[in-house]
Amino acid sequence: MTAEQRQRYLRVLAGEEEPRSHLTAEELIQKAKTLKSPAERTVAGWSKALSDFLGFAGVGHPTAAAREHAVAYRSHLLERVKPNTAKTTLAYLGGLWSVLNEIYSDQPHIFQGLTKRIKVIKTRKVEVHVEDPDSWQGNQNHLLILKILYFTGARLAEIAGLMAEDLLEDRILIRPNEKRSLKTDASEREIPLHPRLKELVSPLRGQQGLLWPSQFQQATSRWGVNLSKPAKLITGVSPKGLRDRAATVLRGAGKNEALVVRLLGHTPNWISSEYGAVPWAELVKAVELL
């Protein structure tokens, strides 16, 4: 217990202060979900980080944890995982404690500022070169998913969890469904259908529901996790590599960052992005470059 907690404990025993009700880990995550509307992966990250931290601190409730526990946990992480992994875990916990701080205004934000001193060395991106998809060989379903990734720059989970209803004559709708959420609000978008995809996806429109339900992994609640190895065998790169290639092609063609961000479904991080829109005709031209 901290000195402050000991004093409060004594005041409660003396009848000078009402006992504080503790918020359980499950209740905190539920409140965070209500406020932030996160993706399933984010919720899973919250749950794992919170469970690990509370176990390390030896406390049963988030409201019982102190700054000393948070600082010690940071050291614990840095001894066992890479700095960027530690930073991600602490960011998950920091987000939860921001919610906790809103609920209990006198509850200290024990993770505030803990990631600032963690130095993350970013690897330099290299240009990705991939053979033309017509030369690829492999499982037909894998080939189709990977070709859509090649000609859209979309995330693997976005395409692996597509429904037949998401395929229109001239575009692919990237939108959440009951089985697959999206990473952020900016992920919901429409991607022009590349000319070389039109014939490939035409037969899929006659189906109903999820196109590749077997790509869902129940244990992790994630889509396409078993496609990484086949992707490298078929294309020479990971699914993420196909996304990197798309961004490289667009920037190499001189396309502005607003268009790249819009097409890839990233969250813009500059104020001017709140004004105006990217014309559909420009998105069509961009996709044709892929």
Report how far residue 168's alpha carbon sits from residue 79's, in angstroms, rounded to the nearest whole number: 50
CATH of 18-103, one of 1.10.260, 1.10.357, 3.10.450, 1.10.150: 1.10.150
3-state secondary structure 244-255: HHHHHHHHHCCC
CB-based contacts of 55: which residues, under 8 Å, 6+ apart? Answer: none
CB burial of residue 239 (10 Å; 0-12, 13-18, 19+): buried
Q: Are 211 and 140 in contact (CB under 8 A)?
A: no
Could you tell me the two tokens for 217? 């992994």
> How does pLDDT run across 18-56, given as a tens digit for each residue?
877 788 999 999 999 888 778 777 888 899 999 999 999
Examine domains 18-103 and 133-288 and report if their fold is the same: no
Give the tens place of pLDDT for each residue, 188-224: 999 999 999 999 999 998 899 999 999 998 877 789 8
% of the chain at pLDDT higher than 90:
61
What residue ranges do the domains of the chain occupy?
18-103, 133-288
First to last CA, the chain: 59
**Contact yes or no for 104/80 (Cβ under 8 A):** no
Look at the block and give the residue holding tokens 């993350």: 120
Out of 1.10.443.10, 1.10.10.1100, 3.40.605.10, 3.30.565.10, which CATH number does the structure's domain 133-288 have? 1.10.443.10
Query: Is the model's pTM score more than 0.85?
Result: no
Residues in the chain, how many?
Answer: 290
> Do β-strands 171-174 and 222-223 pair in parallel, antiparallel, or remain unpaired?
unpaired
Q: How confident is the model at residue 175 (pLDDT cuts 50, 70, 90)?
A: very high
